[in-house]
Structures are given as C-alpha cells and as structure tokens.
Amino acid sequence: MKSKSSIIGWAQPLLIGIVLAVLIRSFIVVPIVVEGASMNTTLLNHDRMIVNKMDKPERFDIIVFHATEKEDYIKRVIGLPGDRIEYKNDKLYINGKPYDEPYLENQKQMVMGALTPDFTLEDTPVRQRTVPEGELFVMGDNRRYSKDSRQIGSVPIDKVVGTTNIVYWPVNEMKILKN
C-alpha cells in the first residue's frame, strides 16, 4: 500500500498544474473556434485560434468580443475612439488619410466590383462623425457577408475578450497572422 507522503508527492504537482491551467485560461489566453465565413479568406470556418486576453486592441488587430450574451464575434478593428471612418471607391479612409488593407487582397480578387461599398460612420448605426470614446469600429474581412459595425454599431471596449492572431488548427493551416 502506498504511503500518505507518496500520494501527496504526486497529487501536489497535479493540483498545482490544474490551478495554473485555470488561472492562465481565466486571465491570459483562451482557445476559440471560428464560426462562419465573415472573416474569409483570412480565417476559415472551424479554424481554431488562441485569444490573448492581455493585449489592448489596436487598429487592424483581429479581436473576439461579446456580441450578445450567448454569442461572440471575431472581427478586425478598423476604427479606434475618435476616428472618422469612410470608404470611397473600395478604399479605406481614416481621418481623411487613405489606408491599404493587404489582408483583403485575396477577397478582392474573388469578387467583381467593389468589395466594400461606400459608407461613412453616419451611414451606420454609430450615427455620428467619429467612433465614440470607449468603443471600436470593427469589420469582417469578407465584407459582403459580414455582420459587423456597419449593422450592429460600434463595439464597447469592455466587451472585447482579447486579440487573436494564432491559428493552431487545422495543423496544415497553422499560422501567425500579420495585420
């Protein structure tokens, strides 16, 4: 029969491992599964990713946020608080300055005409000239088929779970995404 100290000897590292796993998952990183096609071709349905809960979202980061009580969305940050966002002739303008979006090149090659229809923030549920303080304007990379800030309005920063740029599954599609 095993002695009490022997049982404690193997149980203690196991317990420490479980506590560390819970802490890491609660406060640092969490796995997610991409659902839907709104981020095609950057992310595909059922891709598995790691969400970093520690990073502060920056322009063009891919974020996960609580869209409803039961549903999380994954989108790209386009506008930060105070930004004026506009699309003209399939080109992004932030505060009047044009920006390239290299992550959209695959999508643009697959469609006829403009990928992103013209709009300003006033044309969206944001209904103001700039992104409100404490909020983000987000869009899916699959612009024609994404439910994003153009339909749901800006996203409160306190609803953001974290940023993500590591696809770990499927293994043959493993990658680190760049903005």
Q: Which residues are catalytic?
A: 38, 75
How many residues are present in the chain? 179
- Those residues whose C-beta lies under 8 Å from the C-beta of residue 8, and which sit 6 or more positions away, are none
CB-based contacts of 74, cutoff 8 Å, min separation 6:
32, 34, 38, 39, 43, 49, 62, 63, 64, 164
Backbone angles phi, psi at 166, to 5 degrees: -115, 115
Counting beta carbons within 10 angstroms of the beta carbon of residue 126, is it exposed (0 to 12), middle (13 to 18) or buried (19 or more)? buried
